[in-house]
Amino acid sequence: MGVPMLDIATENQAVAEAVRQRIDAVIETNQFILGKTVAELELALAKRCGVDNAVGVSSGTDALLMALMALEVGPGDEVIVPPFTFFATAGAVHRVGATPVFVDIDPVTFNIDPAAIEAAITDKTKAIIPVHLYGQCADMTAIMKIAEARGLYVIEDAAQAIGAKDHDRPAGSIGHVGCLSFYPTKNLGGFGDSGAVLTQDAELAQKMRHIRLHGQTDEYRHQYVGGNFRIDGLQAAALIVKLEHLDAYEAGRRAAAERYQALLSEVPLTLPAAAEGQYHVYNQYTVRSERRDELCAHLKANEIGHKVFYPLALHLQPCFAYLGYQPGQLPVAEAATAEVVSLPMFPTLSAEQQERVAAVIDEFYQ
């Protein structure tokens, strides 16, 4: 029996009729760009994420870009980021003309190391972007303490972590801006690309609303240089429906993670660990193996879905060669790129499917 890495078809088919009804309502109103449905989603997201303001945008990548633009990060500024994450985190920094400064990660959570952040701060540092990787928040208490002491902005990359909590504080609600992605494979996945920015600051939220519409404050009057970063009404319609099921999706993932912990406890893998005070939502279930590539080949041969997030650290990507980082400079992140693999994880993953995954892994280590 093969086991897929993801099963978004089952998840989406379960809500398809409700989504169709919502989309039909958008078609009736012809409010395809922004409009009442988007406003409804924004209110629901703000409530769910524990913030006063949510602004729907075109993607998680654009959420990061907008946050940097709104905080006026640009040429001459440095932004501290982790090297072990999806490219968009650092790519957005480069796109506004600032310099990404990569610092190492915690070997257990894979999130940015606060001590490394503090060591990297210079008089050019303007912001920190902690990533809540795989569905677990970074150490936001330590990060905010550093930021407040040094007068730095904090932009939370919570693309993989809606629903996660750091000491009961929702992901995306703790820093100056939080960024969400609703890419279809996320814990709250849309029917295409979309995202959101979150903030407690009403003025900053209004500025980001202008930036998502080319910086327009009144018709054809532009206070800022923004972009076309709008979420459309059809995506908002789907997300309103799926947001109602987020608790169930979260519960399904956490139950699956518990089953994996029991099933894989006797094999020589390093299993995910939730740090103290962290509520992990398992966007991915990521293990470590010193024989990762061999294990991946065995999983593939047995039709077990798997994925490596991420095989090359960002500081070693060709496009960032101009920054001058060398192999071995960020050893914890580089070790992770050689050892991690994510196993099948989705809300409807069955115990039988997980037993099959575990049996294939057991066979590999015999």
pLDDT in tens, 215-274: 999 999 999 999 999 999 999 999 999 999 999 999 999 999 999 999 999 999 999 999
Tens-place pLDDT, residues 276-323 = 999 999 999 999 999 999 999 999 999 999 999 999 999 999 999 999
Q: What is the pLDDT at residue 324? A: 98
Q: Which CATH fold would you assign to the domain 246-365?
A: Aspartate Aminotransferase, domain 1 (3.90.1150)
Split at pLDDT 50, 70, 90, the class of 213 is very high
Q: Provide mean pLDDT across the span 19-40.
A: 96
Instruction: List the chain domain ranges.
Output: 8-104+111-243, 246-365
Q: What is the pLDDT at residue 207? A: 99
- b/e code 20-57 from CB counts within 10 Å (16+ = b): eebbeebeeeebeebeebbebbbebbbebbbbebbbbb
Split at pLDDT 50, 70, 90, the class of 113 is very high
Rounded Cα gap, residues 190 and 183, in angstroms = 6
Please provide residue 9's backbone torsions phi and psi, each rounded to the nearest 5 degrees: -65, -45
Q: What is the pLDDT at residue 46? A: 99
Q: For all residues of the chain together, what is the average pLDDT?
A: 98
Q: Which amino acid is at 264?
A: L
Q: What is the pLDDT at residue 350? A: 98
Q: 8-104+111-243 is classed in which CATH architecture?
A: 3-Layer(aba) Sandwich (3.40)
Separation in Å, CA 258 to CA 2, 272, 342, 361: 21, 10, 15, 17
Split at pLDDT 50, 70, 90, the class of 16 is very high
